[in-house]
Structure 1
């Protein structure tokens, strides 16, 4: 498999990361072990979990697998996250030193390891001064509990402010950001991606298949049924499904993915994943497989290299929909390009 630097660090990870949000919920422990075995056998070396996934069970399953696979654990980069509530108390959430101290120690215990390779802040916390969070993360690197740290679901100005604090205080810099990114959700390209590129942070896109839309499992105006997350739980995200179903851009993107997949004898999921993996600043794409079959199909993407023409077609048809200032046709960037001769 292809190896890439973990953001601006010296560690390397495979271009496709195994996400474990389904472990302990949609995938039982036996299936989860099989999925991790298959991933490792295919050459993958990057696992991503979080303390809130199945209320800690996902981390425990990953920990038991690592303990049972000493050869794999020596090569695997393990990432987890903290921020969201794991208790009922008012201090059992957020990015305060108090909560993160407890959350980090609990994650280390569940995972059964002495150091977490990549510890990520699962979301921004407007109540806690970012300076407090950054000091905690630098201290945690210094005391050996984590090797690197990153963020998830941060905005562009969050990233820039965090990097400024780190540089001004002499702290270690963040190495990655984990955002939602796929052919149907590209708005991070406006400011989040440039902010990460400015710092040298790598992107770890989650939901690269847009919740299954880009795998071809949904049909226009047909309510989801069967073995899909919406089919099994119709109340989960139904309003979002209706909005996406009614958007013509959705179906134009899906049609383009399907046509390229047919021409390349690949699955639609592989084409969509290959596009994400080829985007600037992307370090590793997070795969959310619920079954061994899904994982096998996703992992085969490593051998699929889209042509420049295919990448351009997908990028053009999925271009983010914006209206006017500052990102649309009246936006300052477009005006400057026109004044400067299209540079």
Structure 2
């Protein structure tokens, strides 16, 4: 079914309406060596808005703070029409142990800094960016709730964290009357599907909208890498400032992944779309996904990504993509799905699953 950016969706267990593709602003600024200059960033922002988009994603340390500063400039005339999402947790001052992490001091300091850079009085959606394995969940949840009560944050969310911690936090928030988590941001794409084991089912059950980051697997699903890059992966320096080196360092270039890309290319050729559009469209087919984050660096890339909203797969094409990228569900999921296991609880009765 074809979509448009103004085919708005509710974000998790909230009434907030967001576009099915979020504009990722990690590419706004060149401090990381591969982003967009200010003028190109402005064109990306304007084109996204012109197409009806309203969901913008950034973080306090993206491009050294330039991402938030540029968004503060770009949103000056239409701030109320947008849903601005930012994050906290990453180290903001090297050598200062309390400038990063999930604790209350880092949370409040980061939010105050983000509000200044974004030139706004409030943040629509605040994510905990990275789990630090040390901060008590009650401290995190109470701090987030205090920010909501102060009006500095409207909704809170979480990313890059084990599923059991999220479900625990959501239960505590519900029981204590604190602001619930409304979104879960995870890596999810045709190459990285392990979130289907626990994270995505947990989000469905606990009322969180799933927001995939890197839906094109760092550009691998665009088809721009080939077998020659597998050899280069062993020798390419990871600090040369290119997106390719980051992709190599993250281990995204493997024979398995390139085999998936082969199928993506085949489906793209059959359907008259680009591999990037096929990769994005596959992610959006999952009913648990609210919006995928696109991270274009040029206007041409943005227009290509937006074309994913018009992609329709045949049943056979969807099945081929699913089969090529299938993962082992692992324990206990594989065991519980066996016919022999089901027979122990159902016998020969037919019981429809809850949807």
TM (normalized to structure 1)?
0.90
Match of 1:217 among 224, 229, 239: 224
Match of 1:18 among 9, 14, 23: 23
Q: Equivalent residue for 1:232?
A: 242
**1:232 deviation in Å?**
3.1
**1:327 deviation in Å?**
4.4
**1:308 deviation in Å?**
3.3
- Structure 1: distance between partners of 2:232 and 2:225: 7
- Structure 2: distance between partners of 1:169 and 1:55: 36
Query: Are 1:122 and 1:152, in contact at CA under 8 Å, matched by a contact in 2?
Result: yes
Unaligned runs of 5+ residues in structure 1 are none
**1:312 deviation in Å?**
2.4
Match of 2:336 among 308, 329, 332: 332
Match of 1:128 among 132, 135, 140: 135
- Structure 1: distance between partners of 2:140 and 2:290: 24
Match of 2:49 among 33, 40, 56: 40
Match of 1:81 among 87, 101, 106: 87
Superposed CA offset, 1:299-326 (max 9, x none): 111122223332222112211146x643
- Structure 2: distance between partners of 1:231 and 1:115: 33
Q: Secondary structure at the match of 2:296?
A: coil
**1:89 deviation in Å?**
1.5
Q: Secondary structure at the match of 2:98?
A: coil
- Classify 1:314/1:246 alpha carbon distance in 2 versus 1 (closer, same or farther; 3 Å): closer
- Structure 2: distance between partners of 1:252 and 1:337: 34
Query: Are 2:247 and 2:253, in contact at CA under 8 Å, matched by a contact in 1?
Result: no
**1:138 deviation in Å?**
1.0
Superposed CA offset, 1:5-63 (max 9, x none): 11111011110000011111211111111100111111111100000101211100110
Query: Are 1:230 and 1:238, in contact at CA under 8 Å, matched by a contact in 2?
Result: no
- Structure 2: distance between partners of 1:235 and 1:255: 22
Give the superposed CA RMSD.
2.2
Match of 1:251 among 234, 249, 258: 258
Match of 2:279 among 245, 266, 272: 272
- Structure 2: distance between partners of 1:271 and 1:337: 35
- Structure 2: distance between partners of 1:54 and 1:278: 31
**1:338 deviation in Å?**
6.0
2:18 equivalent to 1:6 = no
- Structure 2: distance between partners of 1:41 and 1:230: 35
- Aligned residue runs from structure 1 range 281-320, under 5 A: 281-320=288-327
Q: Secondary structure at the match of 2:75?
A: helix
Unaligned runs of 5+ residues in structure 2 are 234-238
- Classify 1:86/1:213 alpha carbon distance in 2 versus 1 (closer, same or farther; 3 Å): same
- Structure 2: distance between partners of 1:33 and 1:337: 55
- Structure 2: distance between partners of 1:271 and 1:235: 24
Q: Secondary structure at the match of 2:69?
A: helix
2:162 equivalent to 1:158 = no
Query: Are 2:220 and 2:253, in contact at CA under 8 Å, matched by a contact in 1?
Result: no
- Structure 1: distance between partners of 2:240 and 2:220: 11
Query: Are 1:154 and 1:177, in contact at CA under 8 Å, matched by a contact in 2?
Result: no
- Structure 2: distance between partners of 1:103 and 1:201: 23
Query: Are 2:226 and 2:258, in contact at CA under 8 Å, matched by a contact in 1?
Result: no
- Structure 2: distance between partners of 1:107 and 1:276: 30
**1:76 deviation in Å?**
1.0
2:190 equivalent to 1:180 = no
- Structure 1: distance between partners of 2:290 and 2:116: 28
Match of 2:148 among 141, 148, 172: 141
